[in-house]
Amino acid sequence: MLSPKAVRAWSAVHKWTSLICTAFLMMLCLTGLPLIFHHEIDDALGHDRWAPANPGGPLMDYDAILELALKNRPGEVPLFMSFDEDRPVVNVTTGPTPDAPGPQMHFASYDRTSGEVVPPVADGGVMDFILQLHTDMFLGLPGMLFLGAMGVLFAASIVSGVVVYAPFMRKLDFGVVRTGRSARLKWLDTHNLMGVVAVAWLLVVGLTGVVNTLSTPIVDLWKAEQLEALVKPYEGRPPVARLASVQAAVDKARAVLPGMDLQFVAFPGGSYSTERHMLVFFHGDTPLTEHLITPALIDAETGELVGVRPMPWYVKALGLSQPLHFGDYGGLPLKLLWAALDLVTIVVLGSGLYLWLARRRTAAAPFADAIDQEPAAAPAPAE
């Protein structure tokens, strides 16, 4: 049983962690709600009305597509080749040098049924704005890390709220809302009920959100640890004289990674490969595992399969956190559940702020004095 001193300490942690992060959590909840249905909204707005030139016709191999892309960009070298999952489209990124920075890269999409250039998908407009606001508040990595810090405060708010709320389970029936008392008590009971019922979901969404904000450092760590180890045995060797067949490389990699879907190819010298290799990346074939990637290492000159390099645990954690955060691994029913819980979160956040303001206005007795009459507020969750 918590002592009065411990109750005061835990309640202070809950109050201040909640107050500091509430405004940002409200923004994340409001922007996260439409993002749950991002694909459905894009489809309804008709952002992609393109159709292949020869539906159901034979598909060009990847070498032919690459040849077309380089012919359209003379003097440039291939950097990446990626593949649409729901369209017969190959995307080719080129640049003046293998290590060209982002502004110098050129991205183009090609119809595998004809070789024609595919027009860019219509600008996402307001949805792109919402996604950027939700991801980093238009501040890049600093914005992502700041939101990650808010997520850590949110987790502390959840834990402290549950700890302080638990002792009052003995004095009140679980889930009771005292409708016969003051408006503030009714909102307090509603706030606590919603927060406690949704506590597991709040922790999952909040902590996966924190992991997502660390995506750039996680990928950079993988490059430093894994790619550097791959480069060392090939240091001092001459550059690749002639690029091997991309189609053959993909086929060899696919043979050792059955049940996985092709994601992208990184060509030699780029930020996701070595000077001597193509890395062919595959991902899981289910909504939950589609962000779990495994690269196959291909000698870029001979086309021989060097080996498969499973991703370390921290990259796998990042891959799993993305579908869990947005609930997009179980179809529309799960998205509707995520949306409902998001709305519950908004109510908890709003009621928590109202309760704090009401207490200040009425100059109520200190929390420690009123602890026997009013259960502590449940944690304020984050998207």
Question: What is the share, in percent, of the chain residues with pLDDT greater than 70?
Answer: 87
3-state secondary structure of 153: helix
Joined together, the tokens standing for residue 27 give: 């923004």
The residues spanned by each domain of the chain are: 4-42+128-213+329-370, 62-122+215-326
Q: Rg of the chain's alpha carbons, rounded to an integer?
A: 26
Q: What is the torsional sign of CA 224, 227, 233, 237?
A: negative
Predicted pLDDT at 176:
67
Task: Report which of 14, 25, 5, 21 is spatially closest to residue 375, judged by C-alpha positions.
Answer: 14
Residues 18/23/27/29 CA torsion (nearest 10 deg): 30
Query: Measured between alpha carbons, how far is 360 from 60 in angstroms, rounded to an integer?
Result: 69
Query: Measured between alpha carbons, how far is 212 from 202 in angstroms, rounded to an integer?
Result: 15
Query: Measured between alpha carbons, how far is 46 from 122 in angstroms, rounded to an integer?
Result: 9
The pTM assigned to this predicted structure is 0.82
Given a cut of 70, the residues of the chain with pLDDT beneath it are 1, 46-48, 122-124, 167-177, 179-181, 231, 362-383
Given a contact cutoff of 8 angstroms between Cβ atoms, the answer to whether 267 and 276 are in contact is no
Predicted pLDDT at 180:
66
What's the half-sphere exposure (Cβ side, CA atoms, 13 Å) at 75?
2
Given a contact cutoff of 8 angstroms between Cβ atoms, the answer to whether 34 and 131 are in contact is no
Predicted pLDDT at 195:
81
What are the pLDDT digits (tens) for 80-102? 999 998 899 999 999 999 989 99
Predicted pLDDT at 122:
66
